[in-house]
Structure 1
């Protein structure tokens, strides 16, 4: 039921630490921690002395990613209780960042989008920010009718949590809103929406 080939659909090329950066700010959510810990061999003491790792746990299949991240020995390791708290800290870190600072983001699409939004608002070019998708495929979706945003959408169509309309989740993505777009699927004949299909688990 998805429309294929939409150019705004994000792509995630993966994270590779840039050894010549003067400072590294690494924002991670849940299984996004693996994008960093799997590069242990490239993380020299010199690089780690210039790293600020911001992490928020999520359902991580019982793995202690926080312990693995702390064990890396980065200059700063900070664990947030919520995504909103991490994003607040990320904004402060980027606001005070100097030339030569590199940002990396890994986690679910919703997390990547929100963290990227902060960076873009501060004038960073999205092409210069390495991202890596890890974890759930659940989407952050904006209803194009009421403008409400629903987090962790795994099915399409789904009922908007704000206005109650049955929404088809499109691959069209708004970088400004950090959300996919949901459109009313039964606008012409209310009540005829097909059964929800699990597409983004």
Structure 2
């Protein structure tokens, strides 16, 4: 069960390295590393000497993407233990960034949204940030009733991890919250929620 046709659904155009940027910052999660690694053949030493790569392995399929990223020998390679740590590091990198810096984001949808939140808060233009979805389609969902956020939601309806309501996952995406919206599916007749379907594997 999914409510479709809502125009706020994010569109990820893919990552293509800007040859005119003075500095490149890559925020990569899990399989998102492939968005950069797939372009490795076309990168020269000059471009790599201006790259800062921030990576967290969450969501990866057990491959050693960290070793492959480090082997590119960018100017700076940093691997974080959690997404939260990477987000903190990203905020620091963007806070001290100069004109001509380009940010690229790749990974699962929830990760992209959280990185985008930081960039927007620091005054970057949404349309100037290349993004590429890689990995699971699981969603980050905010309950519109209790405002709690649940990560890696694969089914709809699902039980809110904060208040326990049965939530229908809408296709409505909030850029401000970096999450899709979940609405109580059986508000008028509690206990009548339809069976869950796996929609976002």
Partner SS state of residue 106, structure 2: strand
In 1, the alpha carbon distance for the partners of 2:104 and 2:43 equals 14
Q: Which residue of 1 is the match for residue 161 of structure 2?
A: 161
Q: Partners of 1:59 and 1:143 in 2: how far apart?
A: 23
Distance in 2, matches of 1:197 and 1:141, equals: 16
1:64 matched to 2:64 = yes
Alpha-carbon offset, residue 61 of structure 1? 2.3
Q: Counterparts of 1:117 and 1:127 in 2: how far apart (Å)?
A: 13
- Normalising to structure 2: TM-score of the pair? 0.99
RMSD: 0.7
Larger mean Cα displacement after TM superposition, 84-93 or 1-10: 1-10
SS in 2 for 1:117: helix
Match of 1:18 in 2: 18
Tell me how far 1:43 sits from its aligned partner: 1.2
CA deviation after TM superposition for structure 1 residue 60, in Å: 2.3
Other-structure match for 2:141: 141
Q: By how many angstroms is 1:2 displaced?
A: 1.6
Runs of 5+ in structure 2 lacking a partner? none
In structure 2, how many angstroms separate the alpha carbons of the residues matched to 1:5 and 1:136?
A: 21
TM-aligned CA deviation for residue 168 of structure 1:
0.1
Counterparts of 1:71-82 in structure 2, within 5 Å, are 71-82=71-82
For 1:59 and 1:188, the matched residues in 2 are separated by 37
Counterpart contact for 1:17–1:42, Cα < 8 Å: no
Q: CA deviation at 1:3?
A: 1.9
In 2: Cα distance, 1:148 partner to 1:173 partner:
15
Aligned to 1:195: 195
* 2:174 matched residue in structure 1: 174
**Once the 2 structures are TM-superposed, how far is the Cα of residue 42 of structure 1 from its aligned partner?**
2.0
